[in-house]
Structure formats: C-alpha cells, structure tokens
Amino acid sequence: MKQKIVEKILRYSAIFEPCEEGGFTVTVPKLPGVVTEGDTFEEAKTNVEDAIKGYLELLSEAGESIPEPDSHSFSAMIDIRLPRGGALAGI
C-alpha cells in the first residue's frame, strides 16, 4: 500500500529592503533574528527561505513553539509615477 505524503505550508511575511550598494536585506517580522541578504531578489528569496526553515527547525529541536504563520494575504509595493507640475507636485 502506498503512503500518502502530506505537506504543510507555513506562510510568513518577509520584508525585502534594497541596499545602497545593490542587492537586498530581508527580515521576517514574526521570526525575530531572521535576517539575511542576497545580491539579487531571487538570491535573497532563496536565502530567506533557507533561513526560515533553519529557524523553525531550531525552535522545534529546542521544544519551542512555532510562531503562527501570517494570514494568506500579502502586500506589494506599488510605484506611482506623477507628472511634474500638477496638483501633487509638492510631494
């Protein structure tokens, strides 16, 4: 008889901040101390996934509780281009 493989997905919000010298620094608000970086967005994303997995494994091994995942919503940065002059010129 085949065993059914069950996968659990935990979703945590990650904050990607561009660095002046290039690349990104990433933090995870619900997981204090999880900070990583990457030269590209893709590298930073891979690094934060690894950091989160490692953090959760350490908590589990220490018998600590795993922080509740974030809701299934997400946020995104939206760039708005404003014409020079006009009503919003003072922003």
Any domain includes 35:
yes
The residue type found at 18 is: P
Any domain includes 5:
no
Write out the residue range of the structural domain in which residue 41 sits.
15-61
pTM score of the predicted model: 0.75
Any domain includes 49:
yes
pLDDT of amino acid 90? 65
Any domain includes 52:
yes
If one compares 11 and 72, the residue with the highest pLDDT of the two is: 11
Structural domain count, the chain: 1
Among 60, 70, 65, 55, smallest CA distance to 12 is for 70
Q: Are 37 and 44 a contacting pair, CB within 8 Å? A: yes
Any domain includes 6:
no
Any domain includes 85:
no
CA dist., res. 69 & res. 31, Å (int): 10
pLDDT tens sequence across 59-86: 999 999 999 998 766 677 777 777 777 6
Any domain includes 23:
yes
Unique residue bearing structure tokens 């809701």: 71
Any domain includes 79:
no
CA dist., res. 14 & res. 82, Å (int): 28
Written in H, E and C, the secondary structure of 36-61 is EEECCHHHHHHHHHHHHHHHHHHHHH
